Amino acid sequence: MTSQQYPTRLPCGNRVLDLSRTHVMGILNVTPDSFSDGGRFNQRDAALRHAEAMVAAGATLIDIGGESTRPGARAVSALEELERVAPMVEVINRELDVVISVDTSTPAVIREAARLGAGLINDVRSLSRDGALDAAAATGLPVCLMHMRGEPGDMQDNPHYDDVTAEVASYLEQRMAACAAVGIDAGRIILDPGFGFAKTLAHNLSLFKHMESLYRLGRPLLVGVSRKSMIGQTLDRPVEQRLFGSLALAALAMTKGASILRVHDVAETADIVRMIEAVQTAE
């Protein structure tokens, strides 16, 4: 089930997403230091095999990231990020029938990824880096705007909200206005509440509970909670034991209308999506 307040056809480069159904986005971190799978897929052949496996398991989007955004992550140069991301965009676009999302805030990466076949720009900084708005506008691609305060290195330093859901909505509304100012139409925008980014456990749980209120902004939601610390803190589980918590939140996000679920465990999540769809479409 997804929220139907917007057109369901979303052009993503040379492919199209049907937003009348929930999609599974597989995470492909081509970095040495991501919190869950850092270093596992930062060699081209291994990364391509992993992308192939995720598509076979049911992913309709692959999200390629060349800069870790875990709490405390170090910054990387634009050149380093580009050298990690660009070859993977090129080979996946050539080899697989899947929408390629690029998890980046860097204007040079945005432009080059679009040239090589990316279909979506997924930015944890909501296009706030210098030049990012213009770069995204020039690509003509849809963009995903995420809520975060500060930078990954300091975002968890005592975050405070009077009303976390209202403040997340206000921030995303402001970033949508910034997009409109450079010609990025609202129809090209996806929103991400930013679970785990500048939020305590209490903030994350409350935001998830009240997620439906974000639909007043009139845009589809991407939800990324796979293996995150909100699960570890709630269930007292290390990263490698957070599958069941991740699946519980994926199912709940889907019933709350999320259009895209960004996950590490694609096969398991795809089964949940199929099962819920079967029930929801039964007579």
The secondary structure of the chain in percent helix, strand, coil, rounded to multiples of 5, reads: 45, 15, 40
User: Is 256 one of the catalytic residues?
Assistant: no
**SS3 for 33?**
coil
Identify the helix (H) or strand (E) that includes residue 111.
helix 107-116
Residue 157: Cβ within 10 Å count: 10
**SS3 for 15?**
strand
β-pairing, 15-18 with 9-12? antiparallel
Instruction: Give the separation between CA 183 and CA 44, rounded to whole angstroms.
Output: 35
Instruction: Give the separation between CA 58 and CA 61, rounded to whole angstroms.
Output: 9
Residues in Cβ contact with 185 at an 8 Å cutoff, skipping those fewer than 6 apart: none
Per annotation, catalytic residue among 70, 111, 228, 242 = 228
**SS3 for 24?**
strand
User: Which of the residues are catalytic?
Assistant: 228, 262
